[in-house]
Structure 1
């Protein structure tokens, strides 16, 4: 089993590029197609915490659903945001990559380089 996981959308060019970069490093990642199998609200909150960013950093604000669901309301809690993201997984920004070197939203794709085997520390 690989020690790299990517939360991936095969229709996203950035996500495909990151997946190719991981494979080019010699690793075959665990691929989570999060639109089919979204993480739980707790997993989303843990991913955000692991990136060192607020949960809102993992939220796709340009999706129509973002405004339709009122997610621009700054008073919403992380629990409310995470529940909305799980109910409407297209709101989850991607690709999110987990490796022994850390967790990162790899947008732009080049951000994955620091997480790959053989990358400078």
Structure 2
């Protein structure tokens, strides 16, 4: 059984560091490469609730602008936009035992263990 879920981008150094930290603690999280398998709007909404953050809080500004996402749009519009353009989603996100944390800095993933 997996030790949580890590929404991961292997090209991101922070995401790789977070995975290494978790593995260093003996954990084997389910790794979801969210660019290949993007979370749908319902999953994003649930993740945001677990994070205690808004869609705007997890929006990568430069990538959002490049994707044509209006950072001032409503929460519902931003969630749909993130589902369509997962590159604009901040990463990594680690989910463990009903809690979630944005791994910025990567050491934050250890806070919910």
TM-score by length of 1: 0.86
Does the 8 Å contact 1:7/1:33 carry over to 2?
A: yes
CA RMSD of the aligned region, Å? 1.5
CA contact (8 A) 1:48 1:57 kept: no
Give me the whole-angstrom Cα distance separating, in 2, the residues matched to 1:48 and 1:29.
Answer: 19
The answer for the alignment partner of 1:47 in structure 2 is 47
Match of residue 66 from structure 1: 65
SS in 2 for 1:62: helix
Relative to structure 1, is the Cα distance of residues 67 and 11 closer, same or farther in structure 2, using a 3 angstrom cutoff?
closer
Paired residues for 1:74-89 under 5 Å: 74=72, 76-89=73-86
CA shift for structure 1 position 2? 1.1
**Conserved? CA contact 1:5–1:29, under 8 Å:** yes
**What's the secondary structure of 2:62's corresponding residue?**
coil
Structure of higher CA gyration radius? 1
Separation in structure 2 between the aligned mates of residue 70 and residue 10 of structure 1, nearest angstrom = 24
Q: 1:82 to 1:23 in 2, by over 3 A?
A: same
Number of residue pairs matched?
113
Q: Cα 1:103–1:68, aligned 2, differ >3 Å: closer, same or farther?
A: closer
Q: Deviations over 1:66-103 (max 9, x none)?
A: 2651422x2x2222111111111100110000011620
Q: TM-score, normalised by structure 2?
A: 0.91
Equivalent residue for 2:17? 17
Gaps of 5+ in 1: 117-121
The structure 1 segments of at least 4 consecutive aligned residues displaced by more than 3 Å after TM superposition are none
Gaps of 5+ in 2: none
